[in-house]
Amino acid sequence: MIYLFFFLLMGQRIELLPEHVANQIAAGEVVQRPASVVKELLENALDAGATDIQLIIREGGKTLIQVVDNGTGMDRTDAELSIVRHATSKIRKAEDLFQIHTMGFRGEALASIAAIAHLELQTRNGQDALGTHLKMAGGTLESISETVVPQGTSIQVKNLFFNIPARRNFLKSTKIEYRHVLEEFQRIALAHPEISFKLFHNDSELFNIPESNLRRRIGHLFGSRMNDRLVPLEEETQVVKVDGFICKPEFAKKSRGMQFFFVNNRYIKSPYLHHAVMNAYEGLLRPDTVPGYFIFLQVPADSIDINIHPTKTEIKFENEHSLYAILRAAVKHSLGQFNIRPVLDFEADQNLETPYNLRHSNAPLPQVEVDRNFNPFLGEGAPAVQRKNYAKASKDSWTALYEGLGEGQYREGAKTHWIVESDAPSEALFDEGALDALTDIASFQVDRKYILTRVKSGLLLIDQQRAHQRVLYEQFLENISLKEPVSQTLLFPMKLAFDPGDLEILSEMYESLKALGFAIEEGTEGEVFISALPVLIPDAQVGTVLEELLANWKQQLGAEGFSEADRMARLLSRALSIRPGRVLDTASRQALINDLFACKDPDRSPFNKKIHSTLGVDELEKKLQ
């Protein structure tokens, strides 16, 4: 009785949410950005049996997303049910969740999308003479009528998140949202090369892809140059069937963007399987680079669970360890089969192989010398036959091979040798003019990563990479502040190729790159022509620098900069700075120290990392006690 009294006194605390609020909450799980809507609508068109699909967007999908297909369409009853929550065409019982073969059909996401946007649907199936025209706003049905439309379905989603201002404010710029839409478009177009696709953005046709095979589809999406970079991949076992293409290791990039896994024609993300591919490429890649791959896995539908993630991009495999081993072996076999990875031939006769050091030399012609005066029947008074005289080598000559072994030539390779002091030939970092301010202060390189030098209070330890980043960063900022930045004009313009996603990012950076001294013109089919460079960037490193710049830009590195130009200076300093492991001679070490302490802020790198630390005499004495 006491609990009932308190319950009546406090009032009811648990209530059912209104339907429109429940729809908005459900929409938040399905729709994070315009790309989420694009994914759902394109998958609906695929399951409707469409052979021609058009995607039309404006402002990166924030104001308009429209998908037009020539699929089976819907009658009036199905059209009305498609916008109702929990209405579906592929699940009848709980067991169907583990036997899903489709991507999703009308009704599973339309109700959620309609709850946070203006939705307009026009559809007609092949049996009806007239189609259905339906309009919704914020989850409320505004009108439904008959109309004359071709067979298929057209769905328009306008003003995404118009009734949830907080969610709309979190959307990124038009270019960033378009890039996410493009990623979803590429994934679905790759998985279905037998279907033709078109993509329009702000009334401009960006892609018009005919039906074809997978190899040509990759070329249509990422440029015709991809044809020479692809290596076929094919393997079939009782556990999984693997096919698709992998890219040659010399074309691996620092930025990700062409890594695609498809399971039963559905795009997934799997760090575990990615590790299997990277393991197969071991020893073939440049440091910090990632190969491209387009890998399709066919497994039994009951051996995977695709419902562990709302967007179904992460799935759970029943035989995950077996899948890892099979994929790794398949990639290795493909690389070896096409002579990309060195393999051992146990049937070859090693005695017939040309030695490595003679492989590129010409074989000498045999020469025969005959003593025409030789006569075995002549007596002792006959002239002696001339023969070659091979004198025995003196024992003293062997000792020359071991001269100097006791004088420490092997110090360089000893495990305890961690300080490099020699002026061994190495690539100079600075111009000769930077050496004018050198002093006689000794410096040492520690572990090819730090510079150690003495100061009044003790020893100074400097991180060479962070120090170089600070020097380059301030030089780039000084170049940006000039109205006419200092640049070097190339004798012949340099041509570089990028895929559409990277090209879109690069176009965002044009103004900042121009302020630094770049002169860039966009060509056709993803080509870019560079006619001028900042003086700090060697022309031989332009491709590598821009590639790393794109990779860091995608990861939002340096986004804490005061402006886009400042962020660009940070990223370029990171791309051009010396790496750990590089040997610096005495002049380069001292020049780096001088340039660092000539900076305005020599204590912190552009990414707010500590550059140097002082070991005082007191600290050194304590360590020896």
CATH 3.30.565.10 holds for 19-209: yes
CA angle 509, 510, 515 (to 5 degrees): 100
Query: What is the rounded CA–CA span in Å between residue 321 and residue 338?
Result: 26
123 forms beta bridges with 132, 153
Percent of the chain residues topping a pLDDT of 90: 31
What number of CA atoms fall less than 13 Å from residue 413's CA on the CB side? Answer: 2
pLDDT surpassing 60 at residue 24 = no
**Pick the residue with more confidence: 98 or 240?**
240
User: 3-state DSSP helix/strand/coil percent for the chain, to nearest 5?
Assistant: 35, 20, 40
Looking at residue 22, what is its pLDDT? 60
Please state which CATH number belongs to domain 229-337. 3.30.230.10
DSSP 18: P
Contact 206, 200 (CB under 8 A): yes
Q: What is the pLDDT of residues 526-550, one digit of tens each?
A: 788 888 988 888 888 888 888 888 8
Query: What is the rounded CA–CA span in Å between residue 406 and residue 413?
Result: 15
Q: Which of 126-140, 208-222, 402-416, 484-498 has the lowest mean pLDDT?
A: 402-416
Q: Which of 49-53, 405-409, 457-461 has the lowest mean pLDDT?
A: 405-409
The stretch 206-217 carries a mean pLDDT of 92
460 forms beta bridges with 453, 614
The stretch 181-210 carries a mean pLDDT of 93
CA angle 265, 270, 276 (to 5 degrees): 105
The band of 415, judged by pLDDT with boundaries at 50, 70 and 90, is very low
> Helices 542-554 and 500-508 meet at what angle, rounded to 10?
90
The band of 407, judged by pLDDT with boundaries at 50, 70 and 90, is very low
Closest-CA residue to 45 (of 103, 117, 121, 132) = 103
Q: What is the pLDDT of residues 109-155, one digit of tens each?
A: 788 888 899 999 999 998 888 999 999 998 888 999 999 999 999 99
Tell me the one-letter amino acid at 5.
Answer: F
The stretch 75-98 carries a mean pLDDT of 67
The DSSP bridge pattern shows strands 304-305 and 152-158 to be unpaired
Q: What is the pLDDT of residues 336-364, one digit of tens each?
A: 887 666 555 555 555 555 665 565 667 67
Closest-CA residue to 208 (of 189, 224, 227, 229) = 189
The ranges assigned to domains in the chain are: 19-209, 229-337, 416-625
CATH number assigned to the domain with residue range 416-625, chosen from the 4 options 1.10.4160.10, 3.30.1370.100, 2.60.40.10, 3.40.50.300: 3.30.1370.100
The torsion angles phi and psi of 359, rounded to 5 degrees, stand at -65, -35
Q: What is the pLDDT of residues 313-329, one digit of tens each?
A: 778 888 889 999 999 99
- Where are the extended beta strands (E) located within 331-435? 419-420
